[in-house]
Amino acid sequence: MFKFIRRFFDKLEDKVRGFLSHYPFVYAIIGGVGTVFVWRGLWHVADFVSAKYLPYSAAESSTVDFPHLADGLFSLGIGAFLLLITGLFVATFIGDHIIVSGLKHEKKIADKTMEELEEEENIVKRIHDELHNFSKRLETIEKKLEINSEAEKEVKQIPTSK
């Protein structure tokens, strides 16, 4: 039963993401609204819990009511639904870089030694240099192709005698 539900929502998320990817502005608005709703809901629930259960604020607060809690839970639910259905929930709160680094079993930048950071910097510099060399070689090839193309045009324009 759980597999069926999971598969259904996974396919639904893929369809929604596929559709919204053609409309990035709408996608961004839905993601922003979902994020704001989640934080608003968490804020209201935290306010309710602190006002209701912390002795110093219960007497002073007028927001200790269950409609306030219901409002927070409703906002949290709507926001979570919007983010889950658009595939933005994890990316919004954790971020892609952290997920990828976790899958690669990389260390956090704060835990890396200076030698490791310098090694990564050298690798990035080497890649940059290689890309720069490829770019120069591509420009040379394009120039040669232009010269050959112009030469072919000139040959076609020379009248042949019969």
Query: Same structural domain for residues 92 and 73?
Result: yes
Q: What integer pLDDT is reported at residue 97 of this predicted model? A: 62
Q: What integer pLDDT is reported at residue 10 of this predicted model? A: 83
Query: Same structural domain for residues 62 and 88?
Result: yes
Q: Is the pLDDT of residue 162 over 80?
A: no
Q: d(Cα 37, Cα 86) in Å, to the nearest integer?
A: 14
Query: Same structural domain for residues 86 and 138?
Result: no
Q: What integer pLDDT is reported at residue 105 of this predicted model? A: 65
Q: Is the pLDDT of residue 131 over 90?
A: yes
Q: What is the mean pLDDT of residues 100-125?
A: 73
| pLDDT tens for each residue of 63-105 | 567 888 899 999 999 999 998 888 888 777 766 666 566 666 6
**Structural domain containing residue 152:** 111-157
| Domain contains 48 | yes
Q: What integer pLDDT is reported at residue 39 of this predicted model? A: 94
Query: Same structural domain for residues 119 and 82?
Result: no
Q: What integer pLDDT is reported at residue 152 of this predicted model? A: 75
| Domain contains 28 | yes
The number of distinct structural domains making up the chain is 2
Predicted TM-score (pTM) of the model is: 0.55
| Domain contains 33 | yes
Q: Is the pLDDT of residue 109 over 80?
A: no
| Domain contains 90 | yes
Query: Same structural domain for residues 62 and 120?
Result: no
- Write a three-state SS string for the chain: CHHHHHHHHHHHHHHHHHHHCCCHHHHHHHHHHHHHHHHHHHHHHHHHHHHHHCHHHHCCCCCCCHHHHHHHHHHHHHHHHHHHHHCCHHHHHCCHHHHHHHHCCCCCHHHCCHHHHHHHHHHHHHHHHHHHHHHHHHHHHHHHHHHHHHHHHHHHHCCCCC
| Domain contains 162 | no
What percent of the chain shows pLDDT beyond 90?
A: 28
Q: What integer pLDDT is reported at residue 76 of this predicted model? A: 94
Query: Same structural domain for residues 77 and 94?
Result: yes
